[in-house]
A and B are shown apart, each in its own frame.
Chain A
């Protein structure tokens, strides 16, 4: 069974631009979560989607948004990029709708903001 895939793997943008990252969950998984990983703050929860609905959101500004499609694929968008948005963005998928179950992570998209 294929794992979680994320595209693109690497991205370089400049301040003020916007970016869209994509995540395809493991087949059959309906929950998709997004995390930001930086050396200073570690892994931080952004938001979680289940059946196209955002169920939970972390403590990030409104510039960070996401959505989930009917096939469970998910995208996250960051508008008006700042230097501090440079990070590894990880997507994780899981099967059940309740409990953290077991989340399987993708390889991440490394975003560099210049």
Chain B
């Protein structure tokens, strides 16, 4: 079992829909959780950063972390075609540990 599991998709939804992206993980030491967006042939761009459990909202994006279930989610409201990209979850135990990434979900927003 990989440390971080993420459905690769593709996930295709119509413009304006609410998008739900998820990751599960097995390492209970993870306490920092991030979501990155990556456009084709570009580096990942940090979208959301959460420490420990709870919710965090930033504009149309909401990140949720449930450490008891080892499950994290990213919600995108009022999705736009420009949101079409690969979304990567990432997590870390902290210190000098590198980030452990999911393989990414390819999201397509249909106009």
Instruction: List A residues at the B interface (Cβ < 8 Å).
Output: 4, 33, 35, 41-48, 50, 55-56, 58, 90, 92, 98-100, 102-108, 110
Main secondary structure of the interface of A (DSSP, over half): strand
Question: In the complex, A35 Cα to B44 Cα: how many Å?
Answer: 11
Interface flag for B61 (CB, 8 Å): no
**18 A-B pairs (CB sep. < 8 Å):** A4-B43, A33-B99, A35-B101, A42-B88, A43-B99, A45-B99, A47-B98, A56-B98, A58-B98, A100-B92, A100-B97, A102-B34, A103-B99, A104-B46, A105-B43, A106-B43, A107-B42, A110-B41
B interface size (C-beta, 8 A)? 24
Chain B residues within an 8 Å CB radius of A102: 34, 46, 49
